Amino acid sequence: MHEKSMPPHIIRHSKTVRLAAVCVAALLKKAGFRIDRRLVDRAALLHDICKAESLLKGGDHALMGRRLMEKLGYPRIGEIVGQHIRLESLEVNEAMVVNYADKRIMHDRVVSLQKRFIDLMDRYGKNEQSMQRILKHYEDASEVEQILVWSSGFEPERLNHLNLITGDHALNGGEGLL
Ligand SMILES: [Fe+2]
């Protein structure tokens, strides 16, 4: 993060995404899914590693992040970073957890999908085409939320409780956090 000169607000965002992702991973694990929580932890923290660079020079920051992780020798993290905007499948896995967690965090606060996408629409819905694209993303994110709810029985609102703790909280693998 330091090497990539990640701005403080993106670091704060990433730390909160990490909190939410690790919690969802812990709940899935409890429900019997094979989820690598360490991998979720690291990928969540690094998902926007190329965001600042892409804002400056252009390009798809998810894809750029994937390439960077591959280059550094972390292809499994790269695979997840590369899917944090769009998932390649609707399989319950580490990529889905990070993708979903990112969509529940607005700046560094946990919010509902609806609130997050209203904000995205406000900021990026500049014409009919971009509005349609954001709407499609919202539908996809809602489907992912449904899948995670069915899979782990978790209540999406419970993630909001994470706003009561700081992003630097010792996670202990997410056990008992919610
Ligand atoms: Fe991102």
* Domain extents in the chain: 8-164
| CATH domain 8-164 topology | Hypothetical protein af1432 (1.10.3210)
Task: Measure Cα distances from 161 to 1, 110, 114 in Å.
Answer: 27, 8, 17
pLDDT digits (tens, 9 = 90+) for 13-66: 999 999 999 999 999 999 999 999 999 999 999 999 999 999 999 999 999 999
pLDDT of residue 178: 63
How many CB atoms are closer than 10 A to CB 37? 20
Which tens digit of pLDDT belongs to each residue from 123-150?
Answer: 999 999 999 999 999 999 999 999 999 9
What is the structure's pLDDT at 175? 67
Q: Ligand 1 center to residue 61 CA distance, Å?
A: 7
User: What average pLDDT score do residues 159-169 get?
Assistant: 82
Extract the runs of DSSP E, i.e. beta strands, from the chain: 105-106, 109-110
Of 94, 100, 64, which Cα lies nearest the Cα of 80?
A: 94
Q: What's the gap in Å between 16 CA and the centre of ligand 1?
A: 13
Instruction: State residue 174's pLDDT score.
Output: 66
State in Å: Cα 10 to ligand 1 middle: 9
How many angstroms does the Cα of residue 103 sit away from the middle of ligand 1? 9
For ligand 1, the distance from its centroid to the CA atom of residue 40, given in whole angstroms, is 15
Whole-angstrom distance between the N-terminal and C-terminal Cα of the chain?
Answer: 28
pLDDT of 60 reads 96
pLDDT higher than 70, residue 110:
yes
pLDDT tens-place string over residues 57-93: 999 999 999 999 999 999 999 999 999 999 999 999 9
pLDDT at 171 over 80: no
Residue 137 CA to ligand 1 center (angstroms) comes to 13
